[in-house]
Structure formats: C-alpha cells, structure tokens
Amino acid sequence: MNKVITEEEFLSSYNIHEFDIPLTSVDMAIFTVIDQQLKALLVKRSQHPAKGEWALPGGFINIHEDKSLDDTVRRKLAEKTGVDTSHLEQVQTFGNAMRDPRGWSVTIAYMALISADNIQLIADESSEQVEWITIENNQHLSLAFDHNDILNACYKRLKSKVQYTSLPINLLPATFTLTELQKTFEIILGSSIEKKSFRKRLLDADIVVETGDFRIGSNRPAKLYKAKKSGKEHLFPRSIQGSK
Amino acid sequence: MNKVITEEEFLSSYNIHEFDIPLTSVDMAIFTVIDQQLKALLVKRSQHPAKGEWALPGGFINIHEDKSLDDTVRRKLAEKTGVDTSHLEQVQTFGNAMRDPRGWSVTIAYMALISADNIQLIADESSEQVEWITIENNQHLSLAFDHNDILNACYKRLKSKVQYTSLPINLLPATFTLTELQKTFEIILGSSIEKKSFRKRLLDADIVVETGDFRIGSNRPAKLYKAKKSGKEHLFPRSIQGSK
DNA sequence: ATAATAGTGTCTTTCAGACAATATCGC
DNA sequence: GCGATATTGTCTGAAAGACACTATTAT
C-alpha cells in the first residue's frame, strides 16, 4: 500500500549521497590572439588523475560557493587569468562512462574570448604550469581525458562564428584599427578576406565607433575604433567567404 | 609530509558518495508538426517533486544503463514515443542551486524533431499523461521547474535554424511535396516565404531527390521528394526572410 | 620622391524577393 | 472549360568579391 506523501515529506527524506550519479564539471577553452596566432590556455595538471598531462582549465562545481554554472566558469577563469571576460559562451556538454577514470562524468564546455593585453597567467595548487598554446587546423595535441575533443569543439564553434558574427572583436583590446580587426578575423578563418568587403560589412553593421584617435606608424595613420557595447553579437546577413 | 601516490592508488580510494555534487539530468523538447501547428511533447508528472505539474520529458542519467548522454536521451525519447529520431541536438545546459528543490542540479537540454506519423504516445509510472501542446510565440506556459526557460531555448534554437539550415525537413514524413515542406518552414518561421525563392534554394542545395511518385489531389499532382541522407544539415549561404 | 599602409570607387557576381505566366490535374 | 494547386520565367535589389585607384604619413 502506497501512502500518499507530500512534496515536503518527499524532500526531507531525499539524500543524494545514496544515489549513483555522475560527476559534473566545467571545462573551458580560453582563446586569445598573440603574435598573429590564435592561442588557447592550457594547464599542466599537478593532481591525479592525469597528473602531469596538459588539459583545459576547469574543475568541479562547488555547490556551496557557486550559485550557477556561470559562477563556476567565471571563478575558474579568474583563477587562471585574473580577468573577467567580455565573451563567455557555452559550447557543448560531454558526458559518458569512459571520459574520466573516476567514473561516469559530465562536463559542460565553455569558450571564453579575451584580449591578451595585461594578462598574467596564474599557476596554483591544481596546475603547476599554465601556458598559451597555438591552435591550428588539423593539429594533434595529446591532452588529458577527452580534452582534445572539447578543444576541437570550441575551436570549431569559434571558426564557424567568425563567418557570420562580429564575435572576434572580443579578442582585441579596447581600441583597434580596422586592419587589426580584419587580421584577427583572418587568423581565425584561416584565409584572407577582401579589404573593402570587410570594411563595408563592419561599418554598415554599426557595431564599432571611431574613438577619434589614430594609430601612428611609418605610414598613413589608421583610425582607431572601439566596439559599441550593445551587449549582443551582430549577425551579418550573409556569411563571409575567404578570398583568393 | 605528502606521500607520493600513484593514479591507481588515488582512484582506489576515490568515492564519489563522499562529495556534495550536483544532480544531473537530461530534458528534451520533442517537436513535431500536427494540423499545421508546431507541437512539443509534455508530460504530467506523477511523482514528487512538482507532482501533477506539466514538464518536459526527461530524467536522470542511469550510469549503469547508459553509456553516454546520447543513450540517456534516446532512452527517454523511446519511453515516451516509441520512436528513434532523425534529428537530435543538444541545445543548452542549465545548472544552478535553485532550479530543483532537491538541490543544486544540472540538466542538459536537447531538442528532437520527429514526424508525427505513426506515433503512439506512451504514459508510464513517471508520467500519468503525455500530450502534444501547441507552441506559439510569446506564449505563457506554467511548467515545472525551469522548463519554461528550457522549452523557450529549444524553440528559439529551432526558429533560428529554420532561417539558414534545412533542419525542418526532419519534421516531415519520409516523402513530402515541396509545398508541404515550405508550409512546415513557414509554420516555424511564423511568416510566409516566397514560393520561387524557397524552391530554388532547396533544389540548388541538392538535399532532396524526387521519388518519382506524385501526391494526387483535385489539381495538378505534386512531385514527391525525399531527403537525401547526407547525414549533415545543409547550411544556406544567406538566411531566409519572411516575405509580404 | 619613395615605401608603406590606410582607405575608396566601381564593376561583377550571387542569390533571395516580387510577381506574373504557364502547366496539369479532377470535375 | 473551370477551379485549384504545381511549377517556371524573369526582373529587381542587396550585399559580398575583385581589383584598381587615391590618401597620408615617416623617412
């Protein structure tokens, strides 16, 4: 005979420690551009499992400290870079019985875009080394767990978005020239973009404004721009092609 | 003094039941088109918590039965509809301290597209009722937990993808006319599409083939098509606009 | 003046939108 | 033939690509 119980009674007798449930973590690909190359942040693990192997920054949700997944991710980002980010995006969640030797586990993968300016990388007790590594097409890295797959998924998302959004603007410092911005797009896209098309697209989109200053070199000075902070990324009506 | 231990030793002493970790589940928006309307499958919960409330189908990962998240989702889908799906897509993962009264919880949200043909809905011990409900813009539903947000995220993804992919093809039966396909796109898009543009776009994309058969009515018979099974969804070079 | 990079003018190409014209069925 | 829906022809327009041209600085 089933006694009908209230939700309150149900909850008071509910104890998650009795269940076999998956471990849940977050991992992130933190992207930036340094020396004309796309880089992602990797850490060398100083703890078991996969001790000594390179991996994406990440870790378990602290259910007492974090109010939401976003909190967890921003906490991890700050631990390694000391900065917040202008663009944080959930990419994909990976979960299966095999990916972690501790058991069935789930990880929610994010990508963050930051400007490399003024970043000091921070090692801590969980990672003995922290480094920017160059990301290229068809590259083989031997990362811990399934972090290769995760990094690839994030890279793929970034490459896809460069074609129809203004997202790569978040990889640059606060002010930049249109040529610098174009170069950033090209680095991610992996091919060159026609200058006039790029500039028209961008200026028509009304997502950048002139600062009034110029970048001075040994040639014609370039107008400096900054991103209009509308909050949301601009979607272009057509996707951009590489050229030539 | 820290004794250096091997990964094997580390793992043998590792017990997840000792940790405070979030609950992890999957939830899914199963979409179909019935009577010229977009529908999603909802279940009425027969168990605590949120007993008696309407919710998206879903549930906990069974770490003994499921090898991966995909297995969990397909198991849930089959439990309610008895079918597999031609399109299953991870949409977004929701996780915070508040969404479930049992504690910090994470849910990985999926959307599935199925053809309504030959579907028999199945109630079971976790759901006393299973029903297709019509999805509309700006609609207010009072679903259990944060399932309103989840359903909205899935609906938004679907609406977005109708503009630049061939995805809605998965909502139709195996064979269909171009007019039927266009109507399906229009239902999701919420506005009409110019006939010639739609047909050109589709036929140029080379994603459907004529079956050779016709749909007979009291007018000119319409060619029947089926989807070429290339495995991946086609991306159109420009997004489609509503017209008129 | 020259080198170098910034920025523009303009023609072409591609593909969606508008809308009318034609085709083919049952009746 | 008529009504209904399927299918096609063709013009327009918007935005990207090609590519040559002009502009502005330091040296």
- Mean pLDDT, rounded, of chain B: 91
Q: Give the pLDDT confidence of B13-62 residue by residue, as tens digits.
A: 777 677 788 999 999 999 999 999 999 999 999 988 888 999 999 999 99
Protein residues with Cβ atoms closer than 7 angstroms to any atom of nucleic acid strand C? A 177-179, 195-196, 199, 215, 217-223; B 193-198, 200-201, 204, 216-221, 236-238, 240-244
Q: What percent of chain B has pLDDT over 70?
A: 98
- Inform me whether the C-beta atom of residue A23 falls under 8 Å from chain B C-beta atoms: yes
Q: Give the separation between CA A212 and CA B31, rounded to whole angstroms.
A: 51
pLDDT at position A23, please? 93
DSSP B82-95: S---SEEEEEEEEE
What is the model's pLDDT at position B182?
Answer: 97
What pLDDT, in 10s, does the model give residues A189-237? 999 999 999 999 999 999 999 999 999 988 999 999 999 987 788 999 9
pLDDT for A6? 83
User: Does the reported pTM lie above 0.85?
Assistant: yes
Q: How confident is the model at residue B120 (pLDDT cuts 50, 70, 90)?
A: confident
- Condensed to tens digits (0 to 9), the pLDDT of residues B137-183 reads 888 889 999 999 999 999 999 999 999 999 999 999 999 999 999 99
C-alpha distance across the termini of chain A, in Å:
76
Which pLDDT belongs to residue A244? 56
Pairwise CA distance, residues A79 & B11, whole Å: 26
Report whether A243 contacts A191 (CB < 8 A): yes
DSSP string, B75-125: HHHHHHHS---SEEEEEEEEEESSS-TTSSEEEEEEEEE---TT-----BT
Is A95 an 8 Å CB contact of chain B?
yes
A109 close to A93: Cβ distance less than 8 angstroms: yes
Give the residue-averaged pLDDT of B117-125.
82
Return the ∠ at Cα B169 (arms to B168 and B170), rounded to 5°.
85
What's the pLDDT score for residue B138?
80
Residues 214-243 of chain A with CB under 8 A from chain B are 237-239
CA–CA distance, A99 with B238 (Å, rounded to integer): 38
- The mean pLDDT value for A113-117 works out to 92
A12-21, A157-166, B48-57, B193-202: least confident range = A12-21
Q: Is the pLDDT of residue B1 over 60?
A: no
Which nucleotide is nearest to A197 if distance is taken from CA to C1'?
A: D16
What does the alpha-carbon distance between residue B97 and residue A179 come to, in Å, rounded to a whole number? 45
Distance in angstroms (rounded) separating the CA atoms of residues A86 and A92: 19
Q: If you count residue pairs, one on A and one on B, with CB atoms under 8 Å apart, how many are there?
A: 122
At B142 the pLDDT is: 93
Least confident of A174-183, B19-28, B198-207, B225-234: B225-234
Residue of A nearest to B48 (CA): A7
For residues B201 and B205, what is the distance between their CA atoms, to the nearest angstrom? 6
Q: How close does chain A come to B94, measured CA to CA in Å?
A: 7
Question: What local confidence, expressed as pLDDT, does residue A84 receive?
Answer: 83
Query: Measured between alpha carbons, how far is residue B189 from residues B16, B155, B160 in Å?
Result: 46, 11, 8
**Cross-chain residue pair A68–B96, CB shorter than 8 Å:** yes
Test mutation, A48, A156, A232, chain B, max B CBs within 10 A: A48
CA–CA distance, B75 with B69 (Å, rounded to integer): 10
Chain A nearest CA to B239, separation (Å) = 7
Does A160 lie at the interface with B, CB-CB under 8 angstroms? no
Specify the residue for token string 């999805």.
B135
Q: How far apart are CA B68 and CA B157, in angstroms?
A: 23
CA distance A116 to A132: 10
Please report, for chain B, how many H helices and E strands are present, in that order: 5, 10
Which pLDDT band, with edges at 50, 70 and 90, does A17 fall under? Answer: confident
**Residues B162/B188, Cβ–Cβ less than 8 Å:** yes
Given this model, what pLDDT does residue A1 score? 53
Residue A229: per-residue pLDDT: 84
**Residue A2 above 70 pLDDT?**
no
Give the span between the Cα atoms of B176 and B169, in whole angstroms: 9
**Residue B102 and residue A21: Cβ atoms within 8 Å?**
no
Comparing CB atoms, the residue among A20, A24, A97 nearest residue B22 is: A24
Q: Using the CA of A223, which nucleotide's C1' is the nearest one?
A: C6
A218 closest-nt by C1' vs CA: D26
- Residue A186, pLDDT above cutoff 60: yes
Please give the helix or strand (H or E) that residue A116 lies within, else none: none
